[in-house]
Structure 1
Amino acid sequence: MSIPKLESYTLPAVDELPENKVQWVFEPARAALLIHDMQNYFLNFWGSDSPLIRQVVENIARLRAQCKALGIPVFYTAQPNQQSDEDRALLNDMWGPGLNRHPDQQQITDALAADDQDIVLTKWRYSAFHRSDLEQRLQTMGRNQLLITGVYAHIGCLTTATDAFMRNIKPFMVADALADFSREEHLMALTYTAGRSGKVVTTEDLMLLPESKSALRAMILPLLEDDDEPEDDENLIDYGLDSVRMMALAARWRMAHPEIDFVALAKNASVDGWWSLLSGEVKA
C-alpha cells in the first residue's frame, strides 16, 4: 500500500523529450518556481545516495539560484507530518498513512531548504492548488507561468500542471528537475504534459544567464569563427563573432535584463565587458 522502494535511472535526454504542442516563451517577469514535495520522506524511497536525486537536486538548486537573482518567486509544497484520517481520506486507501508513520522525515531536503522569502504551501492532495492559496498568490504577483520541479513527476507534478492549465496558468515541466517511480512513468508525465496541458523544458532552457564568467566564456567560444581564443578583455568581434549571433544572445539576455540590447553588447564586446553587463557592474 505504501510507496515502493525506488531505483535510480538515467534522466531523459534532450532528444528523448516529447514534442511540445505549444510554443510558450519563458518570461521571468511572469513566472514562479514550484519545488514540489522535495521532503526527506519522499526522497528516502531511493535510499541515502541516489545519483538520480543528486542530479535532480542540483538542477533544482541551479534554477532556484537563478530565480532568486531574477526576482522570480519561489514556492514549495510540503505535506504536514500529522494528518487526520479526514484530511487524508482516500490517500489512506491508495498509499497508507504516509508521513504519519515517519514525522521525523517531514523536512524539505537540506540542499533545497526554503529561506524567509520563499513561500511554503501545506500539501493535502496531488495538486498544489488543492486547499492552498497558490492561485490567489500568483494572481496578486502578476504571475501566470509556473515552473514545476520535484517529485513525483507522474503524480503530484503532473496533476499540478494539469490543474494550473485549467486555471489559465501556463505550466512548464522541467524534465531534468523531476524524479519519478520509474523512467517510463517519468516520460509518460512529460508526454502527457507536452501534448495536453503544458510545455516540457530542461533546466538549461531556463538558464537565461551564465552562472559565472567561466561559464560565459564557455558559451561564447563556440560562436567565434577564429580558432584562436581571445583574452577576456579582447574584442570578440575581432575573433569572428558575427552580428546574428550577438543579436541572439541579446534577445536571450534581455528576458532577464531588459536594458541589455545589441548596441550594449557591441559597445562592450569582450568577456569582461559582457560579464560586467550581466552582473550589473556597468549600465548598458
Structure 2
Amino acid sequence: MAIPRIQSYALPQCCSENKTNWQVDPDKAVLLVHDMQSYFVNFYDVEGELVKKLVKHIDALISAARAANIPVIYTAQPADQKPEDRALLTDFWGSGLTNRDTSILSTIAPKDGDKVYTKWRYSAFKRSSLLDDMKAQGRDQLLICGIYAHIGILSTALDAFMYDIKAFVVADAIADFSLEEHLQAIGYISSRCGQVALLEDLKASLSVDHENRNNKRGLVSIPSLQCAVAEILNIEVDEVDPEENLLYLGLDSIRVMTLLEKWRAQGINITLEQLSEGASIRDWHEIMQTRSQLEAVIA
C-alpha cells in the first residue's frame, strides 16, 4: 500500500514529440518544484545517480527561472494528516508523512519570498490558491519539475490544461517509479495536455535577453539535435557523437530536408545551404546560434 522502493534509471535524453509549439514567456510563467520532500525522495537511493542528477537539474532550472524573474513555488504534503483530510489517499498509499520527513531537500529548498502550497491531492491546484494566485499575477504558464511524473506531475499538468494554463514539463528534471512510467507520463502530457521539454532547451529559451524574446525560437540545444538525428536514423541517442561527421552515421540530404521541415514548423529558420557549412552536431549548433544572434541584431 505504501510507495515501493524505487530502482535508479537513466533520465530521458529525448522528449516525446509535442502537439504544441508553445514558447515560454518569463512574464507569464511560474516554476513549480513538485513534492521534493525527504519522504518522497527517500524511496530512491539518495546517493544514486538518478537522485543526484535530478537534484542537479532542478537546481539549474531554479537558477535559470530566478535569472529570468520567474516566480518559484513549491508543493509539500503536510505531516500526520487527519483521516478526513487524507481521505482516499490512505486506501492507495497508507497514512503518509510524519513530522520527521516533510522537509524539502535543502539544496533546492525555498528562499524568502517563495510560496509553498500545501499539497492535499495529486494535483497542486486541488484545495490551494494556486489558480487564483496565477490569475492575479496575469500568469498562464506553469513550468513543472520534481516527483512523481505519472502521479502528481501528470495530474497537475492535466488540471492546468483544464484551467487554460500552459504546462511545460521538464522531462529530465522529473522522476518516477520507473523509466517506463516516466515515459508514459511525458508521452501523455505531450500528446494530450501540455508540452514536454529538455532542461537545456528550456534554459536556452530562458537565457535570451528580455528585449530579444521574439527570437528565442531559433535556439536549439545539442541534446535536442542529437535526439532529432537519432530519431530520424532510428538509432540510440548515445550513438550520436556531437563531434562525429554526420555522413558517417548515414545522414543523407533527404533526411536532412525532413529535419529542416520539422524545425521550420517550430520557427527555426535554417536552410540546407547553411547547415552544409558544418559536418557535425557541434557544427550545426554553432551555425544555429549564429543565425539566431544575427536575427536578434536585425530585429
Task: Identify the residue that residue 61 of structure 1 maps to in structure 2.
Answer: 59
Q: Give the % identical residues.
A: 48
* Alignment-mate amino acid for residue 292 of structure 2: A
Q: TM-score, normalised by structure 2?
A: 0.71
Q: In structure 2, what is the Cα distance between the partners aligned to 1:108 and 1:191? A: 28
Give the SS at the match of 1:54: helix
RMSD (Å) for aligned C-alpha atoms = 2.4
Q: Which amino acid aligns with 2:59?
A: A
Distance 2:165 2:103 in 1: 28
Structure 1 residues 108-129: Cα deviation after superposition (integer angstroms, max 9, x where no partner): 0011110012110000000000
- What amino acid maps onto 1:92 in structure 2? T
Q: How far apart in 2 are the matches of 1:7 and 1:245? A: 38
Q: Is the 8 A contact 2:8 2:45 kept in 1?
A: no
Does the 8 Å CA contact 1:246/1:262 hold for their aligned counterparts? no
Segments of 4+ moved more than 6 angstroms: none
Which residue of the other structure, out of 158, 167, 185, is the alignment partner of 1:162?
158
Q: How many Å separate the matches in 2 of 1:50 and 1:155?
A: 22
Give the one of 109, 119, 123 matched to 1:123: 119
Unaligned runs of 5+ in 2: 209-221, 223-242, 244-273, 279-285
2:198 is the alignment partner of 1:202: yes
Q: Which secondary structure does the structure 1 equivalent of 2:10 belong to?
A: coil
| 1:51 alignment partner, one of 49, 52, 56 | 49
Pairing 1:1-284 to 2, within 5 Å after superposition: 1-14=1-14, 17-99=15-97, 102-208=98-204, 209=207, 245-249=289-293, 261-262=296-297
TM-score (norm 1): 0.75
**Alignment-mate amino acid for residue 12 of structure 2:** P
Deviation at residue 50 of structure 1 after TM alignment: 2.1
- 1:85-108 Cα offsets, whole Å, 9 max, x none, are 000000000000010xx3201000
CA–CA separation in structure 2 for the residues paired with 1:48 and 1:73: 27
Q: Residues 245, 204 of structure 1: CA spacing in aligned structure 2 closer, same or farther, 3 A cutoff?
A: closer
1:43-99 deviations in Å (ceiling 9; x for gaps): 000133121111111111111111111110011000011210000000000000010
What SS does the corresponding residue of 2:42 show, helix, strand or coil? Answer: helix
Q: How many pairs does the alignment contain? A: 227
Equivalent residue, structure 1, for 2:236:
none
